[in-house]
Amino acid sequence: MQMNFIANQSAPALAGQTIDVLDPSDGQVFEQIPRSQAADIDHAVQAARAAFNGPWGKLSAMERGRLLMKLSQKVSEHAADLAALEQRDCGKPTKQAAADSVALARYFEFYAGACDKLHGETLPYQNGYSVLTWREPHGVTGHVIPWNYPMQIFGRSVGGALAAGNACVVKPAEDACLSLIRVAQLAAEVGFPPGAINIVTGYGHEVGDALARHPGIDHISFTGSPRVGTLIQQVAAERHCPVTLELGGKSPQIIFDEADLDAAIPVVVNAIVQNSGQTCSAGSRVLIQQGIYEPLLKRLGEAFGRLQVGSAAMNLDLGPLIRASQLERVTGFLDQAKADGIATVAQGQIAAGVPAGGFYQAPTLLRDVPVMHRLAQEEVFGPVLSAMAFSDEDHAVELANATEFGLVAGIWTRDGGRQFRMAKRVRSGQVFINNYGAGGGVELPFGGVKSSGYGREKGFEALLGFTTLKTVAIAHG
């Protein structure tokens, strides 16, 4: 049985309750985690406050950086074990789980190097004054993490917060937290003081809510659904606690007639099938210029037809979805598409020999999806790609911006002027031209506009969100 990790000690939930953990590949229970409550959060917040006021808060930026670098190295040494934990927990194919543990080490490495480069400014002011700004940590930061990329999201969120000098209380998703408990243990092994990193597991409406409400939390970093993002924001507003919201997306891949289709096709397919489409930045809409609509759909359909879904250990193109309710959600969207006369271009295959009881969904390419249909508006969070045609740049922009989301956009064109015009007109936090995702992009600020959230994580920019600015004015005559 797994335990919370508070003040560098393993601890069961104070009330002694547990939650079963399912393996998405066969639907069987293989582990238990604590079902924590508000009292466990209180315990963790007290530990974090003691760390912030004590040994952790007293470290210099250089010393924090050295600890983060040691943690990066430790994670690299344990990359295979961490990947195995996350693979079983989330149903990720081996290659995806391995990539996630490499990314986790890279986040810590990046933020290790960033710690002592974060500084304020001196400001010109009236004669007789010197004015400077200090970038100070918030204090104790709360981090609510979803189940789709636990290690990566922990790396970017907690890595940035620690680099800025905060002590962290982390609430992983109830479906996937095993790797994060292990990372916190590794952090203790490399010398992070007790209370710098605390992990408290449990249900969102219980322990996540308690974290957001706790008066000892000075900043909340939430990554998850828009619905829960709204709840967190409301709760945080009661005590004016700053929040960073990394929410959902309905990201477009926009492909013009003159695009390099050989380059685009594998990237467009991967952008929706990676992690079985359970990715906030999944390229879930493909907008295709009229002149290449039919030939490109044919080629995309052939690529979809070759995709194979299997158990995590089978390491095929896609693994299972996280849980039964997620599978029902995705099949619900597909049933509605059928009922509304939306045509399927192609589907991949569920491989022979997948274990019974797993949550498998074949990747599906749909065509001529009306712009206001649910499939073109809502996050499916599964391997479903909705195609639609556009006539010119204005039409492409209109379709691209016609959802409540604005997280990421991909633009495929060889026309240099069009690249810039489109990048300016599409409303999203990131734009990729002739690529998508730039290989993970630990260094690249990430976040959304509109209902995709606000604030930025990843890159140096994240450090600004994990700090507060103090202005110091000295009158010296």
Q: Rule CB under 6 A: is residue 231 a binding residue for ligand NAD?
A: yes
From the list 5-13, 160-168, 200-208, 299-307, the region that binds ligand NAD by CB under 6 A is 200-208
From the list 11-19, 23-31, 70-78, 140-148, the region that binds ligand NAD by CB under 6 A is 140-148
Q: Rule CB under 6 A: is residue 40 a binding residue for ligand NAD?
A: no
Min separation Cβ 212 and ligand NAD, Å? 5
Q: Which helix (H) or strand (E) holds 408?
A: strand 408-412
Give the whole-angstrom CA distance, residue 75 versus residue 112: 13
Binding test (CB under 6 A) with ligand NAD, winner from 379, 385, 436, 456: 379
Q: Rule CB under 6 A: is residue 208 a binding residue for ligand NAD?
A: yes
From the list 3-11, 93-101, 224-232, 346-354, the region that binds ligand NAD by CB under 6 A is 224-232
Min separation Cβ 243 and ligand NAD, Å? 11
From the list 109-117, 141-149, 329-337, 358-366, the region that binds ligand NAD by CB under 6 A is 141-149
Residues 242-281, interacting with ligand NAD (CB under 6 A)? 246-249, 280
Q: Rule CB under 6 A: is residue 145 a binding residue for ligand NAD?
A: yes
Min separation Cβ 152 and ligand NAD, Å? 9
Going across the sheet that includes 408-412, the strands are 344-347, 364-366, 384-390, 285-289, 252-255, 408-412, 430-433
- CA nearest neighbour of 337 among 395, 286, 377, 397: 377
Min separation Cβ 397 and ligand NAD, Å? 22
User: How many residues in the shown chain lie near ligand NAD by CB under 6 A?
Assistant: 29
Q: Rule CB under 6 A: is residue 89 a binding residue for ligand NAD?
A: no
Give the whole-angstrom CA distance, residue 439 versus residue 350: 27
Give me the residue whose beta carbon is nearest to ligand NAD: 204
From the list 31-39, 162-170, 226-234, 264-272, the region that binds ligand NAD by CB under 6 A is 226-234
Give the whole-angstrom CA distance, residue 307 versus residue 288: 21
Q: Any bridge partners for residue 169, and if so which?
A: 142, 198
Instruction: Give the strand pairing for 384-390 and 364-366.
Output: parallel
Binding map of ligand NAD across residues 380-419, x = CB under 6 A, - = no contact? -x-------------------------x------------
Do 313 and 94 touch, CB atoms closer than 8 A?
A: yes
Binding test (CB under 6 A) with ligand NAD, winner from 163, 173, 178, 316: 173
Min separation Cβ 14 and ligand NAD, Å? 19
- Which residue type does 422 have? M
Min separation Cβ 236 and ligand NAD, Å? 10
User: Closer CB to ligand NAD, residue 379 or residue 390?
Assistant: 379
Q: Which helix (H) or strand (E) holds 469?
A: strand 467-475
Taking the alpha carbons at both ends of the chain, their separation in whole angstroms is 65
- Angle at which helix 94-114 crosses helix 150-163, to 10 degrees, equals 10
Do 264 and 470 touch, CB atoms closer than 8 A?
A: no
The two structure tokens encoding residue 320: 């299972």
Binding test (CB under 6 A) with ligand NAD, winner from 204, 348, 437, 455: 204
Binding test (CB under 6 A) with ligand NAD, winner from 155, 224, 252, 277: 224
Q: Rule CB under 6 A: is residue 205 a binding residue for ligand NAD?
A: yes
Exposed, middle or buried: residue 438 (CB in 10 Å: 0-12, 13-18, 19+)? exposed
136 catalytically annotated: no
- List Cβ neighbours of 262 (8 Å cut-off, separation of 6 or more): none
Active site residue: 109, 246, 379, 457, which one? 246
Give the whole-angstrom CA distance, residue 372 versus residue 285: 12
Q: Rule CB under 6 A: is residue 174 a binding residue for ligand NAD?
A: yes
- CA 228, distance to chain mean position in Å, is 15
Do 105 and 81 touch, CB atoms closer than 8 A?
A: no
Q: Rule CB under 6 A: is residue 139 a binding residue for ligand NAD?
A: no
Instruction: Give the strand pairing for 344-347 and 285-289.
Output: unpaired
Q: Rule CB under 6 A: is residue 86 a binding residue for ligand NAD?
A: no
- In 209-253, where does DSSP find H-type helix? 209-213, 226-237
Site residues, ligand NAD (CB under 6 A): 144-148, 153, 171, 173-174, 204-205, 208-209, 212, 223-225, 228, 231-232, 246-249, 280, 379, 381, 407, 453
Positions annotated as catalytic residues are: 246
